[in-house]
Structure 1
Amino acid sequence: MPKFVSLYSGAGGLDLGFIAAGFEPIFANDINADATATYKAAMEIISKRKGLSCTHEVVTGDIRQVETLPAKGSADLVIGGPPCQGFSVAGKMDPNDPRSRHVFDFLGMVERVQPRAFVMENVKALAENKRWAGTIADIRKKAEEIGYKTNLKVLNSADYGVPQARERMFLVGFKGEDVVYEYPEPSVSTPVTVAEALHRLPPIGAPGNDEVCTAKITPAKTPILRQSPFAGMLFNGQGRPMDVNRPAPTLPATMGGNRTPIVDQNTLENSSEQWVVGYHASLMAGGAVTAFVPSNLRRISVQEAAAIQTFPSDMPWQGSQSSRYRQIGNAVPPKMAFAVAKSVAEALGIEHKTDASILDCLQ
């Protein structure tokens, strides 16, 4: 079974996809203790239920300060999503943000281990924003210097059965010049909607969907309007309503308070028109700001956020509720990771046993 080293692993979204595609983890690292606790708990369940070797070393701490690291030749693959806050358009896009240097620490591990390939995930802006053109060029140049030919593309998770239009950069490098790589083709013809994802869970408040967000929803006194009722700022904070009949926008790591996305419970239950559509039309026509928000509007739960990211329904999340939301928002959707992992295995000519049920084996 081909082996991989995982860096900046978080709760394990990327790793779950690669394990399902037939790769075996031998080392994982993240600086966040709650995330590594979640990761360990999930791997223990997979090991017991699937009989796989997933009880590998999981180290909490800054990878630059970890003393015992994987040795040269110990893995076929190095994967990871270095911190993206310095590159993200949702942040300050500060070129001096020290977190941005982790992409080069990632390549440092690649140089140390000398795997056959590596997969680096990051935000779309790193690949496409002109501000970062020099940085991505430097990353690819460094990869070439240590012996890897790279491929760069932005993928949309909605193309792979994820009920979320999450666009992410995947830089895939192969040792040598003779590997021909093709990114995965879309696996679904019709995107999965938010409603479809949430209907797979128990009703809100019931066991299995009871980690609810209590942040109140109040109308913005001065709404910021856009053409879509699901854009702009119609409510307090930055938690926007989601169109449950479409894939969700990118879930943020700042969920847990008033930045947690909003859904219309009535629409989920009986397919009625979403309240925000009529309210938005009224505002666009010059109508008054509402004095209250109806009770059928609510924020998504921890389990619903995880479902939108395609984590198993009973993923053993650890830490406080805000930490759980953050772990989910920072993750790579496992179904998206699975598609990338299969394409990498194919390019490497690895004969492996794909088991997509691993993505559901925690249930």
Structure 2
Amino acid sequence: MSRPITLIDLFAGCGGMTAGFVAAKGYKPVMAVEWELAAAATYAANFGESHMRWGDIAEVADEDIPEADVIIGGPPCQGFSNLGARDVNDPRNKLWKEYIRFVQHAHPKVFVIENVDRFRSSPDFALLKEEVKPGGLLEEYELTDELLLAADYGAPQRRKRTIIIGSRIGKIPMPEPGFEPTGLLGKQRWRTVRDAIDGLPEKPETTELPKATETYFGKSVPGPFKSTDLHIGRNPTARSLERYDHIPPGGGRFNLPDHLLSRCWREKKTGTTDVMGRMRWDHPSLTIRTEFYKPEKGQYLHPQWDADHSGKRVNRPITHREAARLQTFPDGFVWCGTKIEIARQIGNAVPPVLAQAIAEHLKPYLMKSVPSPRAAERTSRTVR
């Protein structure tokens, strides 16, 4: 293309998908929309405030939606189930209705939806596929869907996500994975926890973010914070530290002696195997969720643990900085919000390297397609 590939990011969060598309070169964000102030401020701090719309997506007027080559985003999975009945005033349909409204008015060549792994097998997705059939709200588009593993695209994390590509310029396949577990099959070896966080200080110097605020959208927000500011620890109890010390790499609550088991763990003999888990240096992490700083929520203990008691053990959960690294955010990325808000942004984000792989894959299709027509020349139906 002789011009940038224009991009709209809906339900943008802190901008993980935008980060990947921008890193792919040639993409220019022209609008982003996000409901949560701290996440919108993080996006603005990294990509600019002028094109970020903080607030309710429904309040973006049709005439304010710019044309764009690509729309990306992940509408919450709930709420699509009644759209097939065309009850578009049902509040549960609101966010999906808005995503489709943006597609109708921006008329992108391609849209990309990211969602939870189970979305692909849900009734909601079945109804989405109905909308690309003749007479549907997205009848111009063809869908490709697949469950992608972030580790296969360069993230040091076994994160599975549903990816949907909608295209009106011909059906587009998913990008081929560039990584695999061993690196012996003509692809690169999976990146590991060691690749991501080795060398960071084992003992965080503080448990708090610096005192700093900035104004975004007329509101004062904590931040922006550098990645080094995010290397913050916690103050676990003596009992928690004793628990951590019993957990080897790859282990979890089943490694605890009876006297350290909570009642619910003692009574629940199966399942939740990653709870109170410790990462392994030479494997990708499990999924980084929004409460990665709580070992009782998953496999979030630091991987360093020598079996020999005279060896070194790092008995703490990973820090915000380590979680951001495992999500593949670059160290130059800055963050806004409280500790909990930033953790939620990190855990909810699409790993930028996964988004970048998708963006690189889309470029040849977008570059050979015809320019999009002006909105006034379109005849496609709009959501009302």
Query: TM (normalized to structure 1)?
Result: 0.73
Map 1:38-187 onto structure 2 (within 5 A).
Answer: 38-44=42-48, 56-67=50-61, 70-71=64-65, 74-84=67-77, 102-128=95-121, 132=122, 134-144=123-133, 145=136, 146=138, 147-176=140-169, 179-187=170-178
Q: CA deviation at 1:313?
A: 1.8
Aligned equivalents of 2:177, 2:197: Cα separation in 1? 22
Aligned equivalents of 2:364, 2:203: Cα separation in 1? 41
Question: Which ranges of structure 1 fall in alignment gaps of 5 or more residues?
Answer: 45-54, 88-96, 276-293, 352-363
Aligned equivalents of 2:178, 2:292: Cα separation in 1? 29
- Inter-CA distance 19–168: structure 2 relative to 1 (3 Å threshold): same
Map 1:352-363 onto structure 2 (within 5 A).
Answer: none
Q: Are 1:323 and 2:341 counterparts? A: yes
Secondary structure of the corresponding residue to residue 102 of structure 2 = helix
Map 1:1-363 onto structure 2 (within 5 A).
Answer: 1-21=4-24, 22-44=26-48, 56-67=50-61, 70-71=64-65, 74-84=67-77, 102-128=95-121, 132=122, 134-144=123-133, 145=136, 146=138, 147-176=140-169, 179-188=170-179, 189-199=188-198, 201-205=200-204, 207=228, 210-216=231-237, 217=240, 218=243, 219-221=260-262, 222-223=265-266, 232=273, 238-257=275-294, 258-259=296-297, 261-264=299-302, 266-267=304-305, 272-273=306-307, 296-349=314-367
Q: CA deviation at 1:68?
A: 6.6
Q: CA deviation at 1:242?
A: 2.1
Aligned equivalents of 1:60, 1:295: Cα separation in 2? 43
Aligned equivalents of 2:148, 2:64: Cα separation in 1? 29
Contact 1:148 1:173 in 2 (8 A): yes
Secondary structure of the corresponding residue to residue 168 of structure 1 = strand
- Inter-CA distance 264–149: structure 2 relative to 1 (3 Å threshold): closer
Q: Which amino acid aligns with 1:324?
A: I
Secondary structure of the corresponding residue to residue 298 of structure 1 = coil
Q: Which amino acid aligns with 2:128?
A: I
Secondary structure of the corresponding residue to residue 162 of structure 2 = strand
Residue by residue over 1:30-86, the C-alpha shift from the partner in whole angstroms, topping out at 9 and shown as x without a partner, is 111000111111114xxxxxxxxxx541111121123476446x1111110112478
In percent, how many aligned pairs have the same letter?
30
Secondary structure of the corresponding residue to residue 297 of structure 1 = coil
Residue by residue over 1:205-234, the C-alpha shift from the partner in whole angstroms, topping out at 9 and shown as x without a partner, is 15555322445534423455669xxx626x
Q: Which amino acid aligns with 1:32?
A: E
Contact 1:201 1:209 in 2 (8 A): no
Aligned equivalents of 1:26, 1:244: Cα separation in 2? 40
Q: Which amino acid aligns with 2:279?
A: M
Aligned equivalents of 1:337, 1:151: Cα separation in 2? 16
The CA RMSD over aligned residues, in Å, is 2.9
Aligned equivalents of 1:198, 1:127: Cα separation in 2? 32
Query: TM (normalized to structure 2)?
Result: 0.69
Q: Which amino acid aligns with 1:124?
A: D
